[in-house]
Structure 1
Amino acid sequence: MRIKQIKIDFHVTTEIKRFVYVYLIEMEESCVLIDSGVAGSEAIIEKAMVENGHHPSDIKGVFLTHAHPDHIGTANYFREKYGAKVYASEGERAWIENIDLQFSERPIPNFYHLAGQSTVVDQVVQDGDKVYLSDDTYIEVIGTPGHCADEVSYRIGDVVFIGDVVPVRGDIPIFIHPDETRHSLSVLEGLSGIKKYYPAWDQTYSPKMMKEKIENAKEIVNVLETIVLDLDHGQELFVLTEQVCEKLHRSAWKANPLFTKTIACCRRKEK
C-alpha cells in the first residue's frame, strides 16, 4: 500500500485562499480516495493517479470524513464517471446527498462552486466498522465528531486519516460541539500502534507531533470556551463574537460565519 498526498488549493473568497489534502491510497490493482477536495479538482486528482501509474478508473471508493464542501467536491464525479462507491457516516449523509440542505443550514461564501453536486452515499459507515479493500487490507472507521455532527476518521493499519478533527494554533477554530471535540481528541490520543496521522489541512504528524497537536487543540477549545462563558451575558451573538475576537486579538475572525457558529456552541446553555 502506498499513500499519495494531493494538495488542492482553492479560494473561499477572492481574499481568502485555503487548501485541503486529498489522500490517494494505492494498492496493486486499485485505489481509494480519502475525501475528494473541492469541485473542479478532478483533473488534479486524475493527474496524480496517472503519474503514479494508475488510471482514474482504478478508484473503487471515495471515503468521506465529513460533508463540508472542500471534502465532497469531486465525489459525485468519480462515482458517476468511474463507478467509485461513496462512503460516509449517517450523520453527514443528508448534507452530502442534498447540498441545497447543507447550504440552507450552513451557508458559506462560494458554496456551490466548492461543493459541486450532491452525490449518493453508497455505503453508510459508523464507528467500529471495517471495510475491506482486499483480503488483508481494510479501513477501520473511527467516530470523531465535534468539528461537525458525525465526522469519522479512517485507520488503515498503522496510519490514520483524521480530516478536520484537530484544531491547530494560528488558524480559525471551527467546531460545533466543544465536549465532542474534546472526546474525539481523546479518542485519537488513545489509539495504539499508529505511526503517522494524516490531517486534511496540515502536515503529516508523527506520534510525537500528534501528541503536541492534541494538547494544543485541547487548550484551544478550553480557552475559547472559557472566554465565551466569561463574556456571555445574554447579548446578541454578533456582539459576543466581536467581544471574543477583541479578547483574542483576532478581529478578522468576526466576519467569518463559521467562527460565529463556534462561539454559539460555546455559549452558556439555558437549563
Structure 2
Amino acid sequence: MPDSRFVVEEVAAGTWRIDDGVANFYLRKDGASGVLIDAGCRGSARGLATALRLSGLRVEDIAAVLLTHAHIDHVGVAERVRKRADAPVYLAPGDEPMSRCRNGGRLRGIVTLFGLDWGLKTGWSLLRGHCLPYPRLASTTGIADGEVLDLPGKPRVLALPGHTAGSVAFLFEDSSTLFTGDALTTHTLEDGSVGCSAVSPDYDEDPLQSLQSLERLDGVEAGLILPGHGPDFTGGVDRATVLARAAAAREE
C-alpha cells in the first residue's frame, strides 16, 4: 500500500524523484538496471519500493548508489541497498568519516553542530522524517572530481565542496541531467516559478566555499537540474547559478 509520506514522480524519461518529506532522492533506469542518486532518510524504503515498482526494477537491479554527500537525509537506505543488491556506494573521501560515525546523527550531535535553536528545529524535522538514528555505511567507494564512473549513463563527478567537505554533483550527459544534492537547491517562488539557491548557511560546513563552488558549474550544460531539496529546474545551469548567487547576496 502506498505511503502518503512519499511523493514519487517520473520527472524525466526513466528518472523518478522520491520526495520523502525531508529531501529528494532519485532512481534512474537504464535498460534492465538502475542507479540510485542519494538515498533519502533511513525510513524511506517504502518510497524507494514505489519507485522500483513504477520502473519495473527490483532492488537487486540497482547497479550503484551515488551519494552527493553524507548528511543523514541523503544516506538513509544506502546501506540496505548495498547489502541487498551487492552494489557499491560511491562517496567523495571528504565525507567518508561522516558516513561511518553515528554521533552527528543523534539529536545531541545535531544541536552541537547547528546550535540550540537550529539544532532542535532540525532534529524535530529529522525525527518526523524517520531519519534518526544515523544509518552508518559499512563500506563506500571513493570518487574524484572529473571522474567518469563506469556505470549506466556514465555519470561524471563534479566536486562542489562547502555544504560538506565532500559534496559533489553528478552529471549524466546522455540525458543532459545534473543531480546537485544540496550544493544547489531550488524553491518555488510566490509567482509559481522556481528559484535556485545554495542551502542556508546555517546548514553549510563552509558557507563561503559553498558559494564559491558554484563557479565550478559555470559552463556546465544540462537541461534538467534535479536538486536534493525542491522542484526540478529547467532554465539551464548558468541561469541557476546566477539565481543562487543573487539569493545569497540578498541574505547578506
TM-score by length of 2: 0.75
Structure 1: 5+ residue runs without aligned partners? 10-18, 227-271
Q: Quote the offset at 1:222 in angstroms.
A: 3.5
What percentage of aligned pairs have identical amino acids? 24
Q: After the TM superposition, which residues 1-271 of structure 1 pair with which residues of structure 2 at under 5 Å, given as runs? A: 2-9=14-21, 19-100=22-103, 103=106, 104=109, 106=113, 108=119, 109=123, 113-115=130-132, 116-134=134-152, 137-157=153-173, 158-166=176-184, 172-173=200-201, 174-191=203-220, 193-208=221-236, 210-224=237-251, 226=252
Q: Quote the offset at 1:142 in angstroms.
A: 0.3
Q: CA RMSD in A?
A: 2.4
Tell me, what secondary structure is at the counterpart of 2:161? coil
Pick the structure with greater CA Rg. Answer: 1
Supply the distance in 2 between the matched residues of 1:3 and 1:35 (Cα, whole angstroms). 13
- Letter matched to residue 175 of structure 1: D
Identify the residue that residue 15 of structure 1 maps to in structure 2. Answer: none
Supply the distance in 2 between the matched residues of 1:46 and 1:99 (Cα, whole angstroms). 25
Deviations 1:209-244 (A, max 9, x none): x444422321333344x4xxxxxxxxxxxxxxxxxx
Aligned residues: 212
Structure with bigger helix share is 1
- Letter matched to residue 241 of structure 2: I
Supply the distance in 1 between the matched residues of 2:207 and 2:65 (Cα, whole angstroms). 28
Contact 1:87–1:121 (CA under 8 A) maintained in structure 2: no
- Letter matched to residue 185 of structure 1: L
Deviations 1:3-49 (A, max 9, x none): 1111112xxxxxxxxx3111101011211100000011112102211
- Letter matched to residue 194 of structure 1: A
Q: Quote the offset at 1:86 in angstroms.
A: 0.7
- Letter matched to residue 183 of structure 1: Q
Contact 2:52–2:59 (CA under 8 A) maintained in structure 1: yes
Contact 1:4–1:24 (CA under 8 A) maintained in structure 2: yes
Identify the residue that residue 192 of structure 2 maps to in structure 1. Answer: none
Supply the distance in 2 between the matched residues of 1:62 and 1:167 (Cα, whole angstroms). 20
Query: 107-116 vs 178-187, which deviates more?
Result: 107-116
- Letter matched to residue 148 of structure 2: K
Contact 1:33–1:62 (CA under 8 A) maintained in structure 2: yes
Q: Quote the offset at 1:203 in angstroms.
A: 1.3
